[in-house]
Amino acid sequence: MVFSISTTTVIGAVSRKRASTRTVQDGFTLAELLVVVTTIAILASILLPALSKAKATTKRASCTSNLRQVGLAIRMYADDHRDSSPSLPQPNPFGGKVQVFYKELVKGYVGLIGLSSANDKVFACPADAVYHKEPGQDFSSYRFNGPDYGYFLANVRSPAKAVLVGELTAFIGNSWHAPQIQNLSNALNTVTFVDGHVSYVRIFREGSNEPRWSEPPASYDYQWLWSR
Ligand SMILES: [Zn+2]
């Protein structure tokens, strides 16, 4: 009979249940804590490298997009200047080389007006934490490859190999995107070529010279000289 259960029996059952619940909860909490901590550590070790790789890929994609636009800006400048690459006015109002101050000549083609600043995102590689903030670099991560007096783009013999503009690190032998190999030959850098394509290329380095002073062997995908 259902109604024959005594009060003592019910209280006893509830107490046992409480005791048993408390025991299970105490054990569960400790074990679960260890499991959770271990699981988080394992997940972190799996996910963090993947996340940092994804972040690096995003930065490189953004840099490629920037350099494509800067290359187009130089091309548009040339279209307006009888096919000449950026050429410093004489007297030179910038007090420096065209490799840096080409930006003053072409930035209007990507919608930048007024004084240069670190906010000029098209000229800032997201992996560069230093140079695009420097007035001495005209707030640019990218350097133009050419003489102060310009050259005719149509005369370039190997437009798919001749560097038009590239990350500053390509010229000096470092890499913002693959810093583990900086200061060695084959530093990886993003550059725009005279034909307009953008590529992530290995940069040749001869001894301790900065790469810009050496033409690479034919096996490399770029060259500095536009006249070869
Ligand atoms: Zn970059």
Grade residue 183 by pLDDT with cuts at 50, 70 and 90: low
Around ion ligand 1, residues with a beta carbon closer than 5 Å are 63, 125, 127
Residue 30 has a pLDDT of 84
Asked if the peptide bond before residue 159 counts as cis, ω within 30 degrees of 0, the response is: no
Residue 26 has a pLDDT of 59
CA distance 113 to 167: 22
- What is the greatest pairwise CA distance in the chain? 111
The answer to whether the beta carbons of residues 194 and 162 sit under 8 Å apart is: yes
In this structure, which amino acid lies at residue 123?
Answer: F
Contacts of residue 175, defined as CB under 8 A and 6 or more positions apart, other chains included, come to 169, 181, 182, 187, 188, 189
Give per-residue pLDDT as tens, 137-171.
999 999 999 999 999 999 999 999 999 999 999 99
CA of 189 to the centre of ligand 1 (A): 7
Domain boundaries, the chain: 2-213
CA of 174 to the centre of ligand 1 (A): 11
Residue 208 has a pLDDT of 84
Considering Cα of 26, then 27, then 28, then 31, what sign does the dihedral take?
positive
CA of 85 to the centre of ligand 1 (A): 22
